[in-house]
Amino acid sequence: MSTATAPLHEYPTFGLPSGSVRGFLSVLICSFFWIALLMSPESSFTVPLGHFFLLTLVFMSFASHPLQEARLHTLPWLMRLVFVGGSAAVVAMAVVKNPDLAAARLTPSPAEISQWPVLLGCLAGGFGTALFLRFVLGRRTEIFMTIRAWVGVIAMLLLVAVRSSSL
């Protein structure tokens, strides 16, 4: 007598296809750079160093592969198209309009360089904590998926708050 085990089920975050929340976060991160590049030349705004560390999350989101069943959905692929196409269009427009200003806006302040160990530690700590929780709780458990979803929502709210306070 053999017993068949039920296949593991991946619970979708907020009912969205796999990769959608990563896509939304990536668009939020990229849109901060877009706004900074498209600001008027009178503004002396430069992108903070911490936002360059957030770009690693965009690259990881772009490189991550959705589950086989999620590849059929268009939303994750649309998000990738938005942040790649939008970034290419904004950078091209900023470089054509004023290449020196675009370079100045994308160069962090020398005073911020001393912050990189803390920023790198926070990035590594976040990844390490997520890997530990995934190991302890299991990748496809409801509690892990709920924690992951809420961390995504809190990250989106914090990005909007930081963006509105620094611009």
The total number of structural domains that make up the chain = 1
What is the pTM for the complete model shown? 0.70
> 64: domain range?
16-166
Q: Is 7 a member of any domain?
A: no
Q: Is 5 a member of any domain?
A: no
Q: Is 103 a member of any domain?
A: yes
Contacts with 49 (C-beta within 8 Å, 6 or more apart), sequence order? 108, 109, 112, 113, 115, 116, 119
Provide the residue type at 146 as one letter. Answer: T
Q: Is 139 a member of any domain?
A: yes
The DSSP letter of residue 72 is G
Q: Is 114 a member of any domain?
A: yes
> Pick the residue with more confidence: 1 or 131?
131
Q: Is 41 a member of any domain?
A: yes
Lowest-confidence region among 20-24, 30-34, 139-143: 20-24
Q: Is 156 a member of any domain?
A: yes
Q: For residue 122, what pLDDT is reported?
A: 87
Cβ neighbours, 10 Å, residue 145: 17
Q: Is 99 a member of any domain?
A: yes
